[in-house]
Amino acid sequence: MTRQQLTQFIKQKAKELSFSDCRVAKSEYLAEEAPKLESWFRKGYQGEMSYLERHFEVRLNPSLLVDGAKSVICFLCNYFPDKQQNTDSYHIAKYAYGDDYHIVIKEKLQQLVCEIQEKAGAFAYRIFTDSAPIMERVWAQKAGLGWIGKNSLLISKQKGSFFFLAEIVCDLELVYDEPFTTDHCGTCTRCLDACPTQAIAAPQVIDSNRCISYLTIELKGAAGKEFEGKMQDWIFGCDVCQDVCPWNRFSLPHSEWRFQPKEEIIHYDRNDWDELDETAFRKIFKNSAVKRTKFSGLKRNIESCQTNGKCENQ
């Protein structure tokens, strides 16, 4: 196969595997990102996530992930649900409504790799989806999938931002797409204005120490008193900056059955969550990303909402 034929084959197969989009960036050192990343760490915006500081150079250079890397194949995988939670409920981020995306997407990408190997023969590769030191949003922008918004998330004019990012870094030489160079956020500040904890320190810069997603998932202890009354009843993750984004009016429900919302997440009210025990937690979230916070973490978040009462801006 020619480079053009192989690239088109990969994109067609990605579509068949229900990815929303697939484009390719040329593997190269991310020199422009180095000072931004260094500044972010220096300001302590990583919070307790010290693991992010490891492998600094690896984050900037795909060739340190895959020897001889030539291409970064980037994917969008929609997770916008057709049903949302009971309004009288604590909130779970939409990406965690169904099965764990790490497992679902990696299975899809491994299947794709097998099909590529049948056409192109053996090649060096690694699969990623929020699981290794790789700057996913930067590569997605370089591949032409969208721009990085003021809330630091990748945004597509056609699809909004309710999607997962994933990559195959490989030593195949493919046809590269043009990077996305236009910022379509303009003068809009809805995400900055709506963030309950003022976690957006500057456009495209998140202070994790103040982010509700970090406070409900990554933080080992309880959130500080300064956040009392500001968590808006989120017990796992947060969607506020996406819910208010005008581009998400274009979001359409996904077609992946494994992302279908678990019935308990959709129908539970506050009393149901208040009474959640570890047995029910293990049953409901058996194959879920929510397992990351563990039962103790989720109960901590629920109890925090109970203590603080109904949060402001509700």
Three-state SS across the chain?
CCHHHHHHHHHHHHHHCCCCEEEEEECCCCCCHHHHHHHHHHCCCCCCCHHHHCCHHHHHCHHHCCCCCCEEEEEEEECCCCCCCCCCCCEECHHHCCCCHHHHHHHHHHHHHHHHHHHHCCCCEEEECCCCCCCHHHHHHHCCCCEECCCCCEEECCCECCEEEEEEEECCCCCCCCCCCCCCCCCCCHHHHHCCCCCEEECCEECHHHCHHHHHHHCCCCCCHHHCCCCCCEEECCCHHHHCCHHHHHCCCCCCHHHCCCHHHHHCCHHHHHCCCHHHHHHHCCCCHHHHHHHHHHHHHHHHHHHHCCCCCC
What pLDDT, on the 0 to 100 scale, is given for residue 311? Answer: 43
Active-site residue list: 130
Give the model's pLDDT for residue 308.
62
From first to last of its 314 residues, the chain has per-residue pLDDT tens of 899 999 999 999 999 999 999 999 999 999 999 999 999 999 999 999 988 998 999 999 999 999 999 999 999 999 999 999 988 899 999 999 999 999 999 999 999 999 999 999 999 999 999 988 999 999 999 999 999 999 999 999 999 999 999 999 999 999 999 999 999 999 999 999 999 999 999 999 999 999 999 999 999 988 888 999 999 999 999 999 999 999 999 999 999 999 999 999 999 999 999 999 999 999 999 999 999 999 999 999 999 988 765 444 33
Q: What is the pLDDT of residue 313?
A: 39
